[in-house]
Structure 1
């Protein structure tokens, strides 16, 4: 009998683990989670009541697909039922896309730095990542278009971008989409759609109507405050949507997640008021840090980006000493979630102390 154990696929050796923040010793006193872009507000009472009811039925399997939620989203977005796909968060849908649409050797173009799941999904499929550097903190769409080759199968694009919070706007996005060949799939990630209030905000769902090669992803994790329940959705034309469903984990969206998402949709006006308060905090925080002399680009999300370069680890460590846990991109910058007013006040005062050398 051989003593050699089974070996995982060799491609996994080159795939980075998806670790949003390395484990760190807890700071003394109160800690604030500012590293996962979570909504700092708890679910609304109506959503909590629905969650409690759905939890009483967890002895039963949910539907293979969350049909009630699919119907509600189709009505809300004014798209055919067959265009809606769901999954356990946007990351779950990315895995469906990778399985359905990528083959070994395919090239996938995306900006970098951008969503950390991109290289994982691409390499898991045996495809080839083509990473195009940002211009400053923003997508270089001209360079991305120039990176397309006959081997390109897919383009991944965050609007606004994660981790920098920047956006290219509707006009530039449309111009780019018109340059992508029709046989190349474009995945447009709009996870922060509700936080994007600029006058040039694109609407991917509208853009997809006459673009069969466009898939649009959104989530209930951010603005709707249901990150812990893992429910995301996408909009695609039927042939692609059906392929993605074939690759979905059966019952991948739980009954609790489905019912909570439905309750959130029913309370959308109240939730969007909450989003408005988070946006106001974002702008207050950005203006305060700007007055201190920090460079903080404009953001269309629920987080801010601080391009600190080689100083990133030092500043992150100092923040952690005060209980402020942020996402560090070593040698590049910090992504800081807009938290509660108390957390934001502490962040402002801590960064002021760092700036003055105290």
Structure 2
């Protein structure tokens, strides 16, 4: 006799982690920081090791107070999770029921489809425009009476494109107030565009906006799993109800607080990542690759049918990247040595289609 299992999970792909790198290779597959944690952060973690036999505080008062001060908001609007992806899952469970629709651009963060289906809701994917950006007019057209939630990944993962401030403001203003718009800003620290939308300001301006942030990328705490949402109070209260109890460890909370206190030191590291991103973009663009201008800590190569071949070429050159067969490659920004390897592994571009024409 076969064990009963939930039939709908047949349509849910398991999340695929970025490939590990063999010894000596550059792991540019997971958008991680190339830098180890700051000494002050490590010290704070070490101080907490003696108490790991105790449960962490669910309320995380030190961290929520620090975030409240940083953004000049009431701490009650701040909720935590094991990375922003887990907070995104909380939001879906809190807002959308079975049969409700959750909208996002595609291609965007690859966890969105699975998170929506796991919650029993219906994913609505709106294709990116010809420039790999959110097609906001098409997203407005796709709203129905079943739409409950819209994700705007800004900068977008994996393309690195941004929604301009004026356009996002107009979009949110046009979305009915009973639909929550979530501005996912996992990569906001790397955005150097002059048109950047500010999710926190949009949260202050509109009653139906929530913002997602993470400590995994710019803060270099991917291994500790901690992120947060800033959301309307009624949403925040429900996020606390659906969150896994004790889901954010005391060590993660300590590291986050210490990281917020060391933002000036981290800013130097962030600028290094941005500089290497720009160098990688320029090098690939000059070599003829279909690379997209990015405001995240990675670049997107819209390689299409050449994706698998280019992935293999990079692997042969000691670089592990994230490939989306048929669509493109996402290459994380790493150290100067990492970017040197990328540029050395990918000489002048000649597409497979052109070679067979």
TM-score calculated relative to the size of structure 2? 0.95
Q: Is the 8 A contact 1:20 1:327 kept in 2?
A: no
Q: Is the 8 A contact 1:21 1:328 kept in 2?
A: no
Please list, as runs of the form range in 1=range in 2, the aligned pairs for 1:141-180 lying within 5 A after superposition: 141-180=136-175
Partners in 1 of 2:50 and 2:308 — Cα distance?
45
- CA change 1:181–1:356 in 2 (3 A) is closer
Question: Is 2:58 the partner of 1:64?
Answer: yes
Q: Is the 8 A contact 1:308 1:334 kept in 2?
A: yes
- Which secondary structure does the structure 2 equivalent of 1:285 belong to? helix
Partners in 2 of 1:312 and 1:65 — Cα distance?
45
Partners in 2 of 1:222 and 1:146 — Cα distance?
33
Question: Is 2:314 the partner of 1:319?
Answer: yes
How far did 1:201 drift? Answer: 1.1
List per-residue Cα deviations over 1:39-60 (Å, max 9, x = no partner): 1011111111111111221111
How far did 1:322 drift? Answer: 2.2
- When the two chains are superposed, the root-mean-square deviation of aligned CA atoms in Å is 1.5
Q: Is the 8 A contact 1:114 1:158 kept in 2?
A: yes
- The corresponding residue for 2:95 is 101
How far did 1:160 drift? Answer: 0.7
- Which secondary structure does the structure 2 equivalent of 1:56 belong to? helix
Question: Alignment partner for residue 293 of structure 2, among 290, 298, 302?
Answer: 298
Question: Alignment partner for residue 242 of structure 1, among 231, 237, 243?
Answer: 237
- The corresponding residue for 1:32 is 26
Q: Is the 8 A contact 1:113 1:133 kept in 2?
A: yes
Partners in 2 of 1:151 and 1:271 — Cα distance?
42
Q: Is the 8 A contact 1:190 1:217 kept in 2?
A: yes
List per-residue Cα deviations over 1:191-250 (Å, max 9, x = no partner): 011101211111111111131211100000000010000010110111110001111111
Question: Alignment partner for residue 13 of structure 1, among 10, 32, 38?
Answer: 10
Partners in 2 of 1:34 and 1:355 — Cα distance?
23
Segments of structure 2 that go 5 or more residues without pairing to the other structure are 353-357
Partners in 2 of 1:222 and 1:356 — Cα distance?
32
- The corresponding residue for 2:223 is 228
- Which secondary structure does the structure 1 equivalent of 2:205 belong to? coil
Partners in 2 of 1:295 and 1:20 — Cα distance?
25
Partners in 1 of 2:12 and 2:264 — Cα distance?
41
How far did 1:354 drift? Answer: 6.5
Q: Which runs of 4+ in 1 moved over 6 A?
A: none
How far did 1:323 drift? Answer: 2.1
Segments of structure 1 that go 5 or more residues without pairing to the other structure are none
Question: Alignment partner for residue 69 of structure 2, among 75, 79, 83?
Answer: 75
Question: Is 2:340 the partner of 1:345?
Answer: yes
Q: Is the 8 A contact 2:28 2:321 kept in 1?
A: yes
- The corresponding residue for 2:249 is 254
- The corresponding residue for 2:355 is none
- CA change 1:356–1:185 in 2 (3 A) is closer
- Report the number of matched residues: 351
Q: Is the 8 A contact 2:19 2:29 kept in 1?
A: no
Question: Alignment partner for residue 112 of structure 1, among 106, 109, 115?
Answer: 106
Question: Is 2:332 the partner of 1:328?
Answer: no
- Which secondary structure does the structure 1 equivalent of 2:291 belong to? coil
Partners in 2 of 1:255 and 1:153 — Cα distance?
33
Q: Is the 8 A contact 1:311 1:331 kept in 2?
A: yes
Partners in 2 of 1:302 and 1:181 — Cα distance?
33
- Which secondary structure does the structure 2 equivalent of 1:352 belong to? coil
Question: Alignment partner for residue 278 of structure 1, among 248, 265, 273?
Answer: 273
How far did 1:65 drift? Answer: 2.6
List per-residue Cα deviations over 1:4-58 (Å, max 9, x = no partner): 32x22111110111103367xx65x512110110010111111111111112211
